[in-house]
Structure 1
Amino acid sequence: MSVPCQQSPAVLAGSVTLTVLGAWNLYLAKPSSYGKHLESLATSLPARAAWFLQELPSFAVSAGILAQQPLSLFGPPSTVLLGLFCAHYFHRTFIYSWFMRGRPFPASALFKAFVFCTGNGLLQSYYLVYCAEYPDAWYMDLRFSLGVFLFFLGMGINIHSDYILRQLRKPGELTYKIPQGGLFTYVSGANFLGEIIEWIGFALATWSLPALAFAFFSLCFLGLRAFHHHRFYLKMFKDYPKSRKALIPFIF
């Protein structure tokens, strides 16, 4: 596979930035201040509106670039792969945000997420449409097949886990309860694990530096959040399952 733009300054800079941000999150070793770890209610927005606004750039940018490409169910692999990226953020923007039940979201965290989603959406879309070159047989390549399988597996886990979390609360209720069922039987961060698997699959299917950097960022950011969620549950609930791990079943 030839990727002439992969060495372009913009693509390299964006990929390095994602990698550094992921490593920086691990270095800080503290969760972002929203949800369970919200430190202050000052200048906050309703959770639904905040999640919609922060996820929207990733969908808008990628969908806008994708819309400029010729429409075809089995078009070039680059547009199909970008379609997967769009599908994830369509769900996160228009479905997940609508049904979520959560605490007010701080404006500062919203701003950071908005900037991140704008930059990442542009990086992934630009690379796939204007840089990546895949052979005609890429659809038959093991990397594509396994990557797409992992992408949809992770998406399924993520959506199902979010559904379980949503059912723990009645509308307007903000109390925390122990999630049960699905992968929550084994890990506290089942929803995070699903999304991490998604982006690992995406990186494999695209076989690209930007997607690999995003998968690494997701592992660092969501993995750390899963760890803090696990510690939160253990501290709050004396009857929390002791065999349950933070992110990886039976291991961590």
Structure 2
Amino acid sequence: MECQDAAVSSLSWALIVGGSAYLVHQTRSHTQYGRYVAAEGLCCPARLGWFLQEVPALLLPLLLLLQPDEPQSSRDRTRRILPLCTFMLHYFHRSFIYSFLTRGRPVPLPIVLYSAIFCSLNGFLQGHHLLHCARFEDSRLTDARTAAGFLLFLVGMTINIHSDHILRGLRRPGETVYRIPYGGMFEFVSGANFFGEIVEWCGYAVAAWTLPAFAFAFFTACSIGPRAYQHHRDYQQRFEDYPRCRKALLPLIL
């Protein structure tokens, strides 16, 4: 996991430090998002807000991918492009499918702005490093690790998309009520969608095997992992009949 670019290395470590700080912050105060924040002041409709904050993470790598590059062997270029394509696949779904299907609450503009800035920086970081900085070894172990990472990514993305589908099905258009989700990974954890996304980015990190990819996976776990616990506690407080066997984030563990 070499990182030759000083700026890339600095941004990667900033993700790790920032994720750690955010994790500590969430253990001390309630994160203001979604059901936990009042839609006061300037807000964006949920669909537009999700699109605006997620699409930079798709566009920045795409622009980098379309730029002329130094001649490379087809094998080396494939190893650079495939992990980046998985990253872009997630954000294509988030920008053009999830955002137009969501039935969430309006999103405060500051949250949209901060998320868009993060997605822009992270999209550039992942794309620039994979396309211009990363070095890959030729070995069967590397190929096996890459294949395992892609498989883990696809499993996580499937869980994430299926869990979002279950959550959307709990509400009719225009409703803002909360109901207990059942089915899929929700039979094991309250934050099934968060669990799926964390698995997704862990798979991406294994497939890419770069410092920026691992930094992003770590940041994701630190930022959305506590949300699963908050949702778990909220469900238990709202519903007396909430399944006691469910964990918050990790099946049978946490």
The yes-or-no answer on 1:23 pairing with 2:23 is no
Could you list the per-position Cα deviations for residues 54-91 of structure 1 after superposition, in whole angstroms to 9, with x for gaps in the alignment? 00100010111122368x99752111111111111000
Q: Percent same amino acid at aligned positions? A: 47
Question: What's the offset of the Cα at 1:94?
Answer: 0.3
For residues 48 and 19 of structure 1, what CA distance do their matches in structure 2 show?
Answer: 29
Letter in 1 for 2:161: I
- TM-score normalised by the chain length of structure 1: 0.93
The reply to whether residue 173 of structure 1 matches residue 170 of structure 2 is no
The answer to whether the 8 A contact 2:51-2:96 is kept is yes
User: Closer, same or farther in 2 for the Cα pair 1:69/1:233, shift >3 Å?
Assistant: farther
Task: Kindly provide the CA deviation profile for residues 133-159 of structure 1, in whole angstroms up to 9, marking residues without a partner as x.
Answer: 223557962210111110000000000
Question: Deviating runs (4+, > 6 A) in structure 1?
Answer: none
Change (3 A) 1:167 1:185: same
Which residue pairs with 1:49 in the alignment? 48
Q: Is 2:145–2:206's contact at 8 Å kept on the other side of the alignment?
A: yes
In structure 2, the residue matched to 1:103 is 105
CA 235–130 in structure 1, closer or farther in 2 if over 3 Å, else same: same
State the aligned residue count. Answer: 248
Cα 1:186/1:105, change in 2 over 3 Å: same
- SS of 1:7's equivalent in the other structure is coil
Partner of 2:121: 119
Q: 2:194 aligns with which of 171, 192, 195?
A: 192
Rate the CA distance shift 1:138–1:195 in 2: closer, same or farther, 3 A: farther
Distance 2:169 2:233 in 1: 22
Deviation for aligned residue 1:238: 1.1
Give the match for residue 14 of structure 1.
11
Q: Quick one: distance in 1 between partners of 2:6 and 2:36?
A: 37
- TM-score where L is the length of structure 2: 0.92
Name the Cα RMSD after superposition: 1.9
- Give unpaired runs (5+ residues) of structure 1: none
Aligned-partner residue type, residue 65 of structure 2: L
Alpha-carbon contact 1:138-1:144 (below 8 Å) kept: no
> Which residue of 1 is the match for residue 166 of structure 2?
164
The answer to whether residue 81 in structure 2 is matched with residue 59 in structure 1 is no
Query: 1:241: which partner in 2?
Result: 243
For 2:142 and 2:14, the matched residues in 1 are separated by: 32
CA–CA separation in structure 2 for the residues paired with 1:202 and 1:138: 18
Instruction: Tell me by how many angstroms 1:49 deviates.
Output: 0.4
